[in-house]
Structure 1
Amino acid sequence: MYDPSMRVLTVLELLQSREEVTGAELARRLEVSPRTVQRYVARLQDLGIPVEGRRGVGGAYRLKPGFQLPPLMFTGEEALALALGLRALTHLGLHALAPAAQGAGAKLTRTLPHALRDDVQALELSVQLDASPWVVGTDATLLSVLLRAVRGQCAVAFTYAAPRTPPTTRRADVYRVVHLDGRWYAVGHCHLRGALRSFRLDRMQALSVLDEPFSPPPDFDALAYLRSTLPERAAHDVSVWLAAPPELLRGHVSGWHTDLSPENGGTRLRARRDNLSSFAAFLLGLGCDFRVDSPPELRAEFGRLAQRSAALAHYTDP
């Protein structure tokens, strides 16, 4: 026996494959009454699919001319990928899309067969995604406009506000948009600098698309370019035991290249850091006992900090 959701999807598949299908044929193919076919059509219309009907003898249904809908038949892995992707949007800094993600998830669940629907609902109840505090929020509308400019190969104009510098008005041919290490970047040719540049989307304002077409370089690797321009980080592998449980440290310890796990009544902190001096000062500021197991260079930093502290303690204002 057909699942009712599968019957609704079958109606949609038939409408997509034929210019017009009679109600009688739909009833015969689905082994249901014409009145039930009307209910299935109404369900599709409730989902926003423009099904048009012709009443009377030989009445038929068709999709609105020009309307195309991607297939709604998903495998178990496809449904899982879609559900996880919708939940992960906020972890890309696109918090404004959370209501849209909820709506899309609800539509996805409604159109799935019962078995897949149960799997997706189990995911909602069973999976927790931890939001990193280092993901920078991004304006979803700005990202949408920027992607439209990239697709149309049109230049953009915007105000760029970098830290400790006055805002500047920029024009750029954006070749690609990249998400890297919790931030969104636009990468392309900056008209002001006359060279390749990257711009953080969270620092872009008043973005507009210009009627100025451009041709991007073929096979441009924006991610490789961006990685080559960002400062080298995480040069040292750090392993420290802290005399405090992980739940007390979370929120106080940066999540950047960091792992916290319980160990011997305390916490094992494993991280990658390039600036050991600032990390040593950070550890002292946590207010709990700790033991540095590696690297040796980190232990040496505490000696330098002790010397500086002693010098400052004996300093007198002339």
Structure 2
Amino acid sequence: MWQHTGMYDPSMRVLTVLELLQARESVTGAELARVLEVSPRTVQRYVARLQDLGIPVEGRRGVGGAYRLKPGFRLPPLMFTGEEALSLALGLRALHLLGLGALAPAAHAAGAKLARTLPDAVRETVEALEGAVQLDASPGVVSVGAALLSGLLGAVHAARTVEFTYTSPQASAMTRRVDVYRALHLDGRWYAVGRCHLREALRCFRLDRMAELRVLDASFAAPPDFDALAYLRSTLPTAAPAAQISVWLDAAPEDLRGRVSVWFTEISAEAGGTRLRAERETLPGFAAFLLGLDCEFRVDGPPELLAVFGRLGARCAAVGRGAPVRA
């Protein structure tokens, strides 16, 4: 259903008429009048203006008359509202958050084309809003190749079997043949989910471990309404309840930017240093991270983190004595 455009400038309403005509095979004058909140006679003037610009609008007069674009005529969507332009611009800038930094040159070119299509006022507003936003990828995001992702998505769309070399931590590289039902992004990683011919069962594959993707001629039929995200989540290990961590660090917040993961982490200035609050499922790794920051710190919670440091201290003392240390 169309929504009120909120644009009262006549030129913008003329462009809105064009957008509505491109969205439907035909539109009645009454519908256009209702959406634009103008009279049918005003709609006729907007249509006449489009025709004067060379846009082939055809119409039927009388009760129930409708307008349509000449069959086969289409204009590229070069006119955007401020919100539409901002969403596109921020989306292009945020690709690296999905591990798609390889698309940076294409995103830059697309952004330049977008800027050229915008009216000066809209472009200046979008640039100002972009300048007020800072985006940073978490260290946990894993990059994938643009060509591999594009090839895989094409195979999913065409329902074509793919073959690729797959390397996992548990096994050496081997060739896998898979009917990929969906590709998806979860917790900083890209996955392919589908039926593995080798195992003859559903399997998940990380795209950053794939290489030498080949799209085969064989086709398949994906199960209807397959929920790849639910299946992927069911294969991941059940996480322990996250520990609520509170630590004071003898360092300014600006000195920690880029050194502290942004995932489930908050830092703020406090008492000449930084208060770090975080949620973590495993504490030993976080304890090692704190030791590696090379600044004084105080653990205010949870008690389990203090116990981890106690065990680490005992192991360090054993190393100092030359005694063997077990994992």
User: Given the two structures, how large is their TM-score scaled by the length of structure 2?
Assistant: 0.74
Q: What is the 5 A alignment of 1:248-267?
A: 248-267=255-274
Amino acid at match of 1:113: P
**How far did residue 101 of structure 1 move?**
1.5
Match of 1:309 in 2: 316
Match of 1:166 in 2: 172
Aligned-partner Cα distance in 2 for 1:82–1:272: 32
**How far did residue 151 of structure 1 move?**
0.8
**How far did residue 67 of structure 1 move?**
6.8
Match of 2:243 in 1: 236
Match of 2:161 in 1: 155
**How far did residue 71 of structure 1 move?**
3.6
Match of 2:203 in 1: 197
Could you tell me which runs of 5 or more consecutive residues in structure 1 were left unpaired when the two chains were aligned.
19-27, 42-62
Note closer, same or farther for the CA distance 1:117–1:249 as it changes in structure 2 (3 Å cut): closer
**How far did residue 218 of structure 1 move?**
1.8
Match of 1:77 in 2: 83
Amino acid at match of 1:276: L
Amino acid at match of 1:249: L
Aligned-partner Cα distance in 2 for 1:303–1:282: 15
CA RMSD of aligned residues (A): 3.4
Note closer, same or farther for the CA distance 1:130–1:254 as it changes in structure 2 (3 Å cut): closer
Note closer, same or farther for the CA distance 1:155–1:127 as it changes in structure 2 (3 Å cut): same
**How far did residue 295 of structure 1 move?**
1.1
Q: 1:29 aligns with which of 49, 54, 69?
A: 49
Aligned-partner Cα distance in 1 for 2:314–2:19: 76
Aligned-partner Cα distance in 2 for 1:113–1:279: 49
Aligned-partner Cα distance in 2 for 1:143–1:9: 36
Q: 1:281 aligns with which of 279, 284, 288?
A: 288
**How far did residue 315 of structure 1 move?**
4.0
Amino acid at match of 1:180: L
Note closer, same or farther for the CA distance 1:170–1:256 as it changes in structure 2 (3 Å cut): same
**How far did residue 169 of structure 1 move?**
0.3
Q: Is the 8 A contact 1:9 1:72 kept in 2?
A: no
Moved more, 108-117 or 267-276: 108-117
Q: Deviations over 1:232-286 (max 9, x none)?
A: 4462121111111122223433334322222211111122222212322332332
Q: Is the 8 A contact 2:195 2:203 kept in 1?
A: yes
Match of 1:221 in 2: 227
Aligned-partner Cα distance in 1 for 2:20–2:258: 54
Secondary structure of 1:88's partner? helix
Aligned-partner Cα distance in 2 for 1:203–1:31: 55
Note closer, same or farther for the CA distance 1:212–1:126 as it changes in structure 2 (3 Å cut): same
Q: Deviations over 1:5-34 (max 9, x none)?
A: x7997998799799xxxxxxxxx83798xx
Match of 1:101 in 2: 107
Q: Deviations over 1:138-159 (max 9, x none)?
A: 1111111111111111110011
Note closer, same or farther for the CA distance 1:151–1:307 as it changes in structure 2 (3 Å cut): same
Q: 2:116 aligns with which of 110, 113, 117?
A: 110
Note closer, same or farther for the CA distance 1:251–1:116 as it changes in structure 2 (3 Å cut): closer
Aligned-partner Cα distance in 1 for 2:98–2:73: 31
Aligned-partner Cα distance in 1 for 2:104–2:290: 36
**How far did residue 168 of structure 1 move?**
0.7
Aligned-partner Cα distance in 2 for 1:252–1:76: 35
User: Given the two structures, how large is their TM-score scaled by the length of structure 1?
Assistant: 0.76
Amino acid at match of 1:189: R
Aligned-partner Cα distance in 1 for 2:224–2:114: 37
**How far did residue 164 of structure 1 move?**
5.5
Match of 1:291 in 2: 298
Secondary structure of 1:215's partner? coil
Note closer, same or farther for the CA distance 1:118–1:31 as it changes in structure 2 (3 Å cut): farther
Identity %: 66
Could you tell me which runs of 5 or more consecutive residues in structure 2 were left unpaired when the two chains were aligned.
1-8, 26-47, 56-68
Amino acid at match of 1:90: H
Aligned-partner Cα distance in 1 for 2:143–2:298: 35
